[in-house]
Amino acid sequence: MNNDDFTWANALARPAIAGFKAYSARGASTDALHMDANESPWSPPPAGTRESEYNRYPAQQPPALMNRLASLYGVPAENIMLGRGADEALDVLLRTFCESGQDNVLICPPSFGYFDIAAQVQGAAIIKVPLTTDSGVDQTGVKQALKDNAIKVVMLCSPNNPTGNSIDRAFVKTLCADNPDTLILVDEAYVEFSPHGSLCDMLTDFRNLVLTRTLSKAYGLAGVRAGVALANQEIINLMLKVLPPYPVPRPVEQAVLKALAPSAMAVHDARMAIWQSERARLLSELPKTNLIESIYPSDANFILLKAANEDKLLSSLARFNIKIRDFRSKIPGHFRISVGMPEDNSLLLQALGITAQEAKDVRVAEEFRTTKETDISVRVNLDDPSNVSIDTGLGFFDHMLEQIAKHGGMGLTLKCAGDLHIDSHHSVEDTALAFGAALKTALGNKAGIGRYGFVMPMDETQAKVAIDLSGRPAFVFNGNFPSETVGEFAAEMCPHFFLSLSQALGASIQIDVKGDNTHHMIEACFKGVGRALRPAISLGPSTDIPSTKGVI
């Protein structure tokens, strides 16, 4: 960034903002004894100790969280402003740059409703260029409006809410290049769902481009309230003057860091694949009902539709206690449906009278485990083996876990970031504990399962494995490995993995292994456990709990 950026941004901002000094909020956390902000020296009950730091004001932009967001979005931390949702980012942008009763903003309705509200609250005049009949941005109309009016901010949404379509990338480039003294804002709340990707890479080319992103949608943090503005550094610096001193509560900071842990991204990816598959399923099935006249294509996690019979559509959904978004006040006859989990979408289709191939009820569970030594996320699907993705940093161990998934007939997404610079012990042990906990949750009350599993030979090796999903952990291992390691994997960690697995899963696991090759022996153990798990977790025709006690 050069000095011209500072001059340009200050000239574009409201003079009152450009000229005043920001409130002196606490910067990054330090080890100093803070006696500067009139805080209580005690944390609130029930903790009552210094550990939570809830009694201390947080930094305006918490460094650890800003660095994580910088990594997530692929932009430097100084190009990010974090606030209470993307809504606050929009509000701060307008309060920074738009003079009440003087400046104009341009919007393209129907679009994100808060554009209108934020502009009205700030007292900016609103110039509207409606979408075209095919729901696209009226590019000619927008360009003409920019020629005819002094517009401070153009407010766009991509994918657009509620129509679900993405804005042409080349059009945004043209707007930025042809209108260097107008801020071109693109709200990318739903961009993670779109095949077209973010415009983040354009931030270095256009100093007047501003993007807003939210953690509410793809990352499931709507109740936490966290979102960002991404822009030229001087725009961000000016916005930080307007942002309240302590906008990010410590519980929010902690929740976001946990949800965005690098290990958790594999689970987010797995969820996104399901989301996109379910969106395609709904787009395919919804046209089969006579209650819907037309359906819009979507790059987001929602679908806009026009009802053929509005009253009957709503009454049909009400019978199943399903609520959808009513857009009739903005677009006559139109409604918006959010894409839910497979079972939610199946219920929606049933409510609409659509006879479709229902999504199978699946036993899925996720487990997240973070310690000082490891950070692990696990997602298991006992009824769909199609997705297996494993990364522990130990190639041989990854291959062994893949054997359990493959031979157990289950889907497994697992990411472990551990202290491998010390040794593999913590990574292997904690992976077993997290994996076992996820399996236990996915099994639920175990009604209808086989419960028991037996196996298996492999080359010169023979592994005999017996499993009982009894709810009572027990482990027996008989075997001697000829060598101490296979690659970076310590042979002694093989029985230790299954000991930890039995504890977390609540299962009796017995393994007897004989052979001449340590690699083969360990692999036979993992394959054998997978094969023993397959009949144990399988559902039979009966829905009874396989125990005379009636509970496992």
Residue 86 scores a pLDDT above 70: yes
Predicted local confidence at residue 3, as pLDDT: 58
Which range, of 74-78, 82-86, 213-217, 451-455, averages the lowest pLDDT?
451-455
CATH code for the structural domain at 267-351: 3.90.1150.10
Q: CB-based burial of residue 434 (10 Å sphere; 0-12 exposed, 13-18 middle, 19+ buried)?
A: buried
Q: Residue written as tokens 């969280």?
A: 65
Q: What distance in Å separates the CA atoms of residue 545 and residue 270, rounded to the nearest whole number?
A: 30
Residues in CB range of 144: below 8 A, 6 or more apart: none
What average pLDDT does this structure show over 21-31?
65
pLDDT band at 38 (very low <50, low <70, confident <90, very high): confident
Q: What's the whole-number average pLDDT of the chain?
A: 92
The per-residue DSSP string of 316-359 comes to HHHHTT---EE-TTTSTTEEEEE---HHHHHHHHHHTT----PP
> Which H helix or E strand runs over 433?
helix 425-443
Please check the confidence at residue 22 and state whether its pLDDT lies above 90: no
The pLDDT, as a whole number, for residue 141 is: 97
Question: Across 33-37, 450-454, 466-470, which has the greatest mean pLDDT?
Answer: 466-470
Yes or no: say if 210 and 186 are a contact pair by the CB < 8 Å rule: yes
Does the structure show a pLDDT above 90 at 454?
no
Residue 53, pLDDT score: 79
- Please indicate whether residue 45 or residue 346 has the higher confidence score (pLDDT): 346
What is the DSSP pairing of strand 452-454 with strand 461-468?
antiparallel
Angle, alpha carbons 159-325-260 (nearest 5°): 50
> In angstroms, rounded to a whole number, what is the distance separating the alpha carbons of residues 208 and 463?
65
pLDDT for position 291: 97
375-424 pLDDT per residue, tens: 999 999 999 999 999 999 999 999 999 999 999 999 999 999 999 999 99
Residue 360: its pLDDT value, please? Answer: 61
Give residue 408's pLDDT. 96
Q: Quick one: pLDDT at residue 442?
A: 96
* CB-based contacts of 7, cutoff 8 Å, min separation 6: none
> What mean pLDDT is predicted for residues 43-52?
66
What is the pLDDT at residue 540? 87
- Give the phi and the psi of residue 142 in degrees, each rounded to 5: -65, -45
Tell me: pLDDT of 221 over 80: yes
pLDDT of residue 56: 83
Residue 45 tokens read as: 């009950």
Q: Which of 31-35, 63-67, 71-75, 383-387 has the lowest mean pLDDT?
A: 31-35
- pLDDT tens for 278-335 read 999 999 999 999 999 999 999 999 999 999 999 999 999 999 999 999 999 999 999 9
Give the model's pLDDT for residue 264.
Answer: 94
pLDDT given at position 356:
62
Average pLDDT estimate for 5-26: 80
Q: Tell me: pLDDT of 456 over 70.
A: no
Quick one: 544 exposed, middle or buried, by C-beta within 10 A (0-12, 13-18, 19+)? Answer: exposed
Cα–Cα–Cα angle for 211, 24, 212, rounded to 5 degrees:
10
Average pLDDT rounded to a whole number, residues 48-53: 62
Gap between the Cα atoms of 502 and 496, Å rounded: 10
pTM of the model: 0.87
Distance CA 431, CA 94 (A): 47
Q: Say if residue 49's pLDDT is above 60.
A: no
**Is residue 400 classed exposed, middle or buried when 0-12, 13-18 and 19+ CB atoms within 10 A define those classes?**
buried
Give the DSSP letter of residue 287. G
Over residues 157-191, the pLDDT tens digits come to 999 999 999 999 999 999 999 999 999 999 999 99
3-state secondary structure of 277: helix
pLDDT score of 455: 75
**Residue-wise DSSP of 118-161:** HHHHHT-EEEE-PPPTTS---HHHHHHHHHHS-EEEEEEESS-T
Centroid of chain to Cα 527:
32
Report the length, in residues, of the chain.
552
- At residue 20, the pLDDT reads 79
Say whether pLDDT at 515 is over 80: yes
Report the pLDDT value the prediction gives residue 160, as an integer from 0 to 100: 97
Condensed to tens digits (0 to 9), the pLDDT of residues 120-143 reads 999 999 999 999 988 899 999 999
d(CA 66, CA 387): 32
**Are the C-beta atoms of 456 and 526 separated by less than 8 Å?**
no
DSSP state of 7: H
Q: Report the alpha-carbon distance of residue 26 to residue 128 in Å, rounded.
A: 41
Two structure tokens written together for 337 = 């449906």
Q: Is-cis flag, bond preceding 46, omega within 30?
A: yes
Predicted confidence band at 468 (pLDDT cuts at 50, 70, 90)?
A: very high
Q: pLDDT tier at 41 (50, 70, 90 boundaries)?
A: confident
For residue 416, the 8-state DSSP code is E
Q: Taking the domains of the chain in order of start, what are their residue ranges? A: 3-17+60-260, 267-351, 364-537
Could you tell me the strand order of the sheet in which 125-128 lies? 80-83, 227-231, 209-214, 183-187, 151-157, 104-107, 125-128
Given CATH 3.90.228.20, say whether it is the number of domain 3-17+60-260.
no
| pLDDT for 359 beyond 60 | no
Q: For residues 247-258, give the mean pLDDT.
A: 93
Domain formed by 364-537, architecture: 2-Layer Sandwich (3.30)
Categorize the per-residue pLDDT at 51 as very low, low, confident or very high, splitting at 50, 70 and 90: low
**Virtual torsion, Cα 517, 522, 527, 533, nearest 10 deg:** 150
Question: pLDDT of 332-358, one tens digit each?
Answer: 999 999 999 998 999 999 999 997 665
CA distance 391 to 373: 16
pLDDT reported for residue 530: 96
Give the whole-angstrom CA distance, residue 92 versus residue 26.
20
Number of H helices and number of E strands within the chain? 16, 22
